[in-house]
Amino acid sequence: MARHVWAMLLNIAFLDDATRPKPPRLEGLTPAQKAPGQHLRMIHDHLRHNMQTLATLIQRAADGEASPADVAAETGDLAMVANYRRFGNLCGRYCQVVHTHHSIEDQAIFPALAAQSPAYRAIAERLVAEHEVVHELLVRLIDALNDLAAEPTQSRFEDTKTVYHALERVLLSHLGYEEEAIGDALGYFEIGV
């Protein structure tokens, strides 16, 4: 993998909150209006939890502290691992969950939000652009994992870790921004999650 590609991915400008459109302030929301934003956060928390667990295991494996048996035992209770057992490839399934979540937002939630005002249109456009970067990183992670499986060398392991950490950084930043930018608006404008 080319170093210039990784430099670009690891220094993505829109991880800088100063480049992200600010949401309009919404006052006096009822608990019912806050509920859709809380639901969105719960969905995102599931993704965060799985990323955190994988990061810990990747680091332990890199440090030689986790055997394949340890990894299997420690990931056994993750919802995404249960889905893997039911549906196939672990990364592929996780990537599909993220892709499906983003597709629903891109095709239904963001257009409804964009119709509310120019400020929300700018936010929706930014979130769609961030989804494109997340998608590219998911594809690269699958490729890196396939390369690692085909040739389990230290170099392939380092490539896989690099892609994983880029994805983690981008995805976690994106999820936080999305919650802040649209969480309250979902209930305020009665946009379903």
Most confident of 42-46, 67-71, 158-162: 42-46
Distance from the Cα of residue 25 to its chain's centroid: 25
Instruction: Give the confidence band of 88 by pLDDT, cuts at 50, 70, 90.
Output: very low
Q: Which pLDDT value is given to residue 87? A: 39
Supply the pLDDT for residue 84.
39
Higher pLDDT, 166 or 85: 166
Is the model's pLDDT at 120 over the cut of 80?
Answer: yes
Q: What is the mean pLDDT of the chain?
A: 77
Residue 35 half-sphere exposure toward CB, CA atoms < 13 A: 7
In this prediction, residues 162-180 reach a mean pLDDT of 90
The proportion of the chain whose per-residue pLDDT surpasses 70, expressed as a percent, equals 68
Lowest-pLDDT range, 89-98, 137-146, 178-187? 89-98
Cβ proximity of 6 and 166 under 8 Å: yes
pLDDT level of residue 135 (50, 70, 90 thresholds): confident
Answer yes or no: is pLDDT of 77 > 70. Answer: no
With cut-offs at 50, 70 and 90, classify the pLDDT of residue 36.
very high
- How far apart (Å, rounded) are the C-alpha atoms in residues 40 and 46? 10
Q: How far is CA 69 from CA 89, 152, 162, in A?
A: 18, 17, 23
CA 100 – CA 157 distance, rounded (Å): 27
The upper half-sphere exposure of residue 165, i.e. CA atoms within 13 Å in the direction of its Cβ, equals 14
Phi and psi (nearest 5°) for 18?
-65, -20
- C-alpha distance across the termini of the chain, in Å: 37
